[in-house]
């Protein structure tokens, strides 16, 4: 059996040097993350409503979503689209129910410490 592994000392030292240089950077990158939410916003009947929330200037948005305060059975008659927005998150809500529905947008904001 002919194994082609590098036994040359210079190649082995170079590989160790590259791995050692990469490790401190990987270990030093610690994230500090927090969720920020919008106010609870009523979405009126038959109107597209935008509900936005933003990260503070020292943090970056990494994700987001929305929450309805209607219980755990779901919200029939609602169209929802949520997207990134600059340094925050936007939820578009189209309410096809006869009464307003309450929605809240959240964004996950992180910074490297």
Q: For 78-99, write each residue's pLDDT tens digit.
A: 889 999 999 999 999 999 988 8
Predicted local distance difference test score (pLDDT) of residue 100: 84
Strand order in the sheet with 48-54: 48-54, 88-95, 78-85
Query: In the structure, what pLDDT confidence band is assigned to residue 71 with cuts at 50, 70 and 90?
Result: low
- Given a contact cutoff of 8 angstroms between Cβ atoms, the answer to whether 52 and 38 are in contact is yes
In this predicted structure, the answer to whether residue 103 has a pLDDT above a threshold of 60 is yes
Mean pLDDT over residues 2-26, rounded?
51
Distances (CA, A) of 51 to 17, 26, 31, 82, 111: 50, 36, 27, 9, 24
Judge contact between 25 and 73, C-beta under 8 A. Answer: no
pLDDT in tens, 30-65: 899 999 999 999 999 988 999 999 999 999 999 999
Residue 63: predicted pLDDT: 95
DSSP letter for 14, please.
Answer: H
Q: What is the mean pLDDT of residues 6-23?
A: 50
Q: What is the pLDDT of residue 11?
A: 43
**CA 89 to each of CA 3, 51, 56, 60, 82: distance values in angstroms, whole numbers, following the listed order:** 54, 8, 12, 11, 7
Indicate if the pLDDT at residue 105 is higher than 90: yes
- Mean pLDDT calculated for residue range 13-34: 63
Q: Give the Cα-Cα-Cα angle 80, 85, 88 (nearest 5 degrees).
A: 100
């Amino acid at each position: 059996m002919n194994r082609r592994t590098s036994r040359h000392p210079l190649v082995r030292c170079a590989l160790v040097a590259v791995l050692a240089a990469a490790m401190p950077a990987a270990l030093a990158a610690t994230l500090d993350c927090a969720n920020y939410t919008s106010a609870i916003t009523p979405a009126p009947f038959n109107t597209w409503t935008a509900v936005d929330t933003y990260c503070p200037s020292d943090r970056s948005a990494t994700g987001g979503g929305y929450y309805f305060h209607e219980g755990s059975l779901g919200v029939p008659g609602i169209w929802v689209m949520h997207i990134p927005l600059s340094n925050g998150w936007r939820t578009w809500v189209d309410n096809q129910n006869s009464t307003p529905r309450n929605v809240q947008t959240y964004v996950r904001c992180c910074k490297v410490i």
